[in-house]
Structure 1
């Protein structure tokens, strides 16, 4: 068992260590995926979080990890394009400037920030000071609609703010870091203002997300340990993710007669590569309106499964053993992004955020390292206290 976890964790780490920019103005930027030479700041957030894992597992030296973290945070403080402290979703690997008419992203900035916080807590000293300068610059209030008490979904230079984080998804980290901000804190009411819609699939009733993509139940949990915690409404987000994971697995079991890729050991529908390109809408019920049409084409992403190892470890490990039998699914960075047996298709890429959730959740399952680091942080403690999650 440990062998398959060790291999996937190490090869996932290798992606973040190798697929990195070392230019003067873009040092530390990490590729979004192996197809495009474009960086995503979320990929960098996972990559920074990977550094303490690499050091503790002796894949890199502490000096190598320190230098990578220090130079990366310097790049983000001085070179990477930002507005009101928030970064662009996608940037040029060479210089950190906007590409693809990308939005100024609150969620991707938050994922980057969690990575910065992780290395800050691990190294302390100068790294912590750099993290605080980046954190203190973020104007969380600017990204907030005070009439609705909600974060906006995205901001584009050309057209301003669009949409709202009005339902549950991967964004819990935003409320914690926003409330704890030493410079531009947002009211904890934002956390209690998004909809908590209940839905059911078979025996599993849970607060569901828009698409039912399983990553939405995973990302905040990669850093923040919600185990044995409830908010003042009685919501237990960790238990909710267990239920979402079980529902997603059951959906694949129930639809095995439709899709060859689906089974008790092949599940975890989430945003991923597909035979028709990247799909952000793959998911399982329950989801918004309990609408399951067009939520899948039979494509399975291993990261969707692996990212839930802390929620349902036995089921995930059995699935990983199955994925390991698919030789066409393997590459130098572990499992490729996805496969589809009905279409005899295997992705030819890996995607940073998918490798990232696999890496962090495997480590949390094995040692709890990322959770332990993050939960020591004074801002995380303050944010959880302000939101009354305890």
Structure 2
């Protein structure tokens, strides 16, 4: 009974969304399609050079809104394929000309315009079908209830059934039941098919996706090389200023002990104690340095236990849930570990949270990690922030990061890294 109730509710929801979106699509897509064509036609006159960037920006915003509805309503993900503009665009009319040229050279622009036309034609048909299949039964029931008597002078056609008597009214109601059952079966599928059709036109082609991935990998590889060089300099500096300095001091103390051991045994004993303390501190610093490069617990017990150990050292209450059937490559585990470490550090230092949740699992050849806190929110990815460092670290492995942090919280940092488990 509950399953049937949920099925009817889902079909009615799909119908309502289909009708609402058909109105929006008919008005929005048609208007933007005409405006885009007019603006492009006015480019030779110079007017279009000014208007085209604004019109195409509206088209992109409209398309991105449809992408959001696709993933929210039907879990259909449509990647955003637009090329980024260079940061050194000149101001004024010259900049507008450059911006127009760059937009027209972007294949995604022309796919957007094609999609606008398809959205107000074939896409419109799918939306209307999803909606009318659940509305037609109401009309059939009204005709069976006696509405057919209003049309005494002319025969009323309910789809392909002529209604001019109570018997034909009941036939209309029976047909309405059929429409209702068909709507329950295919209403949500028609809505999903509408978004799948949009994905065919709005998503980047395989060649473009491959080119973008190569560009991203090239960029992240350069960042990885820079990060590795910076890390090596940090290790060298830590060794020079920490353990090495203590070992030098310990050697000098031992040399002094050697000279004083017969003349002043008491002083020699104090210097030996100081040397022993220096050796212990040097050993601690070396262990901390090694832990910063690759924590022993990560190598020995895997990502789950390493993250649990991180959480135990937090000054706030934490909960870690791990569902892994094996282990990823050492490099992937290390990247995930330090990404989680940075996210937990940010939560403890900046969010004002008193509780943190960490979830780690593997599905669809993807390692997924989420770090959530109940702090004040407002976290954002920006230059120099810890979140930017996480993004660069994950990008080395073709991974991605998403941040949801509305004002007032909560903050959720979600990370995904493609990998397989051993």
Same fold by TM-score, threshold 0.5 exceeded? no
Larger radius of gyration: 2
The structure richer in helix per residue is: 2
- Could you say which TM-score interval applies, normalised by the shorter chain? under 0.3
Task: Provide the TM-score with structure 2 as the length reference.
Answer: 0.24
